[in-house]
């Protein structure tokens, strides 16, 4: 197992480097430093001299990838890519291009707000989806199953914005049960988190229930389930004890790979509810064309995704003794 994990980590190194290079290439060919300078300076203050000064102050006056004016190793080191993107490999995120804040410190501060909304939403969402999916599988081919699937399709067809706007209007404005936006420290933040968590769970029910129902239906048609029924076990015992246990691999694939991304929270929910998490941090950076923040969040996302894949593989051995990694 240890050797497998080491191999997976080594395989991830070229992927991480590739993400870094691709992100930098997209930046220089889609959104150049000149474009970002114009965005930050504003139309009234844009002059060629002002753009050059901004680029020099933020380290974008160097060549992009190769400095032909420098000899030897300095051809590579004296470039924007080496000075801006390479330090990400050891998690040196640097400072933002727009307001010069410490990106690493901002990530460490904002991640707690993202976790405050995403952890309860994730845990409650998985529990609700699994329970409803097992109920539909238990009552398969009945009106409960048919109408449950129809409702799941309807729910997954509705945009998340509809849930957000509807929830804010009904539960926040009309019934005044929860505040529509805002955030606070400590336990005072609970009242601001309940509504986005409820909306996040509602938005995930359609997709989650359909996926887990398909997994359970595939499992209960296998030979070992028919054998369990032939021995006289009740349908509930067959489903909740035998089928559920053997269906855990696809369930874990869907669940465990999502865990690292809890640090991001929910981009849309954080933006609409004014929650100062990493999701809103990323959206604001994209809107303001702050490439330093966008580059850092893309790199962090690739790291988290690789961690999620490794955690998924390890979790397989915990639920299925047949799975072994050599």
How do residues 251-293 score in pLDDT, each as one tens digit? 877 777 777 677 766 778 888 888 888 888 888 888 877 888 8
Q: Rounded to the nearest 5°, which phi and psi values hold at 269?
A: -65, -45
Give CA–CA dist 224/239, Å, rounded. 12
List C-alpha distances in Å: 234 to 140, 228, 230, 240, 243.
15, 9, 10, 10, 12
Looking at the domain assignment, is residue 167 inside a domain?
A: yes
Q: Which residues have CB under 8 Å from 302's CB, separation 6+?
A: 15, 16, 19
d(CA 301, CA 22): 14
The mean per-residue pLDDT over the stretch 70-95 comes to: 81
User: Which pLDDT score is estimated for 320?
Assistant: 63
Average pLDDT score over residue span 62-90? 78
Looking at residue 238, its pLDDT comes to: 77
- Residue-number span of the structural domain to which 78 is assigned: 15-90
Where is pLDDT greater, at 61 or 128?
Answer: 128
**Start-to-end C-alpha separation, the chain:** 6
Q: Are residues 63 and 168 in the same domain?
A: no
Backbone angles phi, psi at 67, to 5 degrees: -100, 95
Phi/psi at 128 (5° precision):
-65, -45
Q: Does residue 196 share a domain with residue 259?
A: yes
Residues in the chain, overall count: 326
Look at 33-47, 88-102, 283-297 and tell me which has the smallest mean pLDDT: 33-47
The rounded distance, in Å, linking the Cα atoms of 47 and 53 is: 10
Residue 144 and residue 279 in one domain: yes
Q: In this structure, are residues 125 and 246 in contact, taking their beta carbons and an 8 Å threshold?
A: no
Tell me the pLDDT tens digit for each residue of 180-203: 888 877 777 888 888 999 988 888
In contact, 273 and 189? CB cutoff 8 Å = no
My answer on whether 76 and 129 are in the same domain is no
- For residue 44, name the pLDDT band (cuts at 50, 70, 90): low
Residue 149 lies inside a defined structural domain of this protein: yes
Final residue before a domain boundary, out of 45, 66, 90: 90
Whether 13 has a pLDDT exceeding 70, the answer reads yes
Banded model confidence at residue 222, pLDDT cuts 50, 70, 90: confident
d(CA 101, CA 215): 46
Structure confidence at residue 143 (pLDDT) = 92
Q: By C-alpha distance, which of 240, 224, 259 is closest to 114?
A: 259
Q: Is residue 254 part of a domain?
A: yes
Pair (141, 274) in one structural domain: yes
88 against 75, higher pLDDT: 88
Q: What is the mean pLDDT of residues 15-22?
A: 84
104 or 44, which is more confident?
104
Q: Read off the tokens for 163.
A: 């849930």
Among 90, 111, 144, residue at a domain's last position: 90
Q: Give me the pLDDT at residue 323, please.
A: 59
Average pLDDT, rounded, for the chain = 82
In this prediction, residue 319 has a pLDDT band, given cuts at 50, 70 and 90, of low
pLDDT of residue 150: 92
Asked if residues 282 and 294 have their Cβ atoms less than 8 Å apart, the reply is yes
Do 176 and 250 have their domain in common?
yes
pLDDT score, position 11: 80
Whether the per-residue pLDDT at 325 is higher than 60: the answer is: no
* Overall domain count for the chain: 2
232: tokens are 């006289």
Asked whether residue 136 falls in the same domain as residue 254, the answer is yes
pLDDT tens sequence across 141-154: 889 999 999 999 99
Same domain assignment for residues 276 and 143? yes
Question: What pLDDT does residue 128 have?
Answer: 92
Residue ranges of the alpha helices (H) in 95-189?
A: 103-138, 143-157, 160-167
| Whether residues 85 and 129 fall in one domain | no
Pair 85, 137 in one domain: no
Does residue 307 form part of some domain? no
Query: Rg of the Cα trace of the chain?
Result: 25
Please give the pLDDT value at position 310.
79
Q: 151 and 23 in one domain? A: no
**Are residues 131 and 64 located together in one domain of the fold?**
no
Residue 117 lies in a domain: no
- The band of 45, judged by pLDDT with boundaries at 50, 70 and 90, is low
CB crowding 287-311: b at 16 or more within 10 Å, else e: ebbbbbbbbbbbbbbbbbbbbbbbe
Question: Does residue 161 fall inside a structural domain?
Answer: yes
Specify if 242 maps to a domain: yes
Q: Which of 256, 272, 288 is the last residue of a domain?
A: 288
Residue 301 in domain:
no
pTM, rounded to two decimals:
0.80
């Amino acid at each position: 197992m240890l050797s497998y994990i080491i191999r997976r980590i080594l395989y991830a190194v070229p992927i991480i480097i590739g993400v870094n290079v691709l992100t930098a290439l997209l930046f220089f060919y889609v959104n150049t430093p000149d474009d970002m300078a114009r965005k930050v300076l504003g139309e009234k203050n844009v002059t060629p001299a002002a753009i050059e000064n901004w680029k020099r102050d933020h380290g974008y006056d160097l060549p992009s990838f190769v400095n032909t004016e420098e000899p030897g190793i300095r051809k590579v080191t004296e470039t924007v890519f080496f000075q801006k993107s390479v330090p990400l490999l050891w998690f040196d995120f640097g400072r933002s291009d727009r307001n010069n804040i410490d990106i690493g410190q901002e990530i460490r501060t904002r991640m707690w707000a993202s976790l405050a909304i995403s952890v309860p939403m994730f845990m409650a969402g998985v529990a609700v989806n699994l329970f409803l999916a097992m109920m539909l599988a238990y009552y398969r081919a009945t009106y409960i199953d048919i109408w449950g699937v129809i409702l799941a399709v309807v729910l997954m067809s509705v945009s998340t914005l509809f849930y957000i706007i509807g929830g804010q209007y009904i539960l926040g404005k009309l019934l005044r049960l929860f505040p529509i936006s805002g955030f606070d420290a400590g336990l005072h933040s609970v009242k601001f988190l309940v509504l986005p968590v409820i909306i996040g769970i509602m938005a995930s029910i359609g997709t989650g229930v359909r996926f887990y129902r398909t997994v359970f239906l595939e499992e209960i048609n296998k030979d070992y389930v028919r054998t369990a029924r032939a021995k006289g076990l009740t349908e509930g015992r067959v489903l909740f004890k035998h089928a559920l246990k053997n269906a855990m691999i696809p369930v874990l694939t869907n669940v465990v790979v999502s865990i690292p991304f809890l640090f991001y929270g929910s981009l849309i929910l954080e933006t609409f509810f004014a929650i100062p998490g990493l999701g809103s941090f990323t959206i604001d950076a994209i809107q303001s064309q702050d490439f330093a923040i966008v580059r850092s969040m893309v790199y962090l996302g690739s790291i988290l995704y690789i961690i999620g894949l490794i955690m998924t593989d390890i979790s397989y051995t915990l639920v299925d003794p047949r799975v072994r990694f050599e």
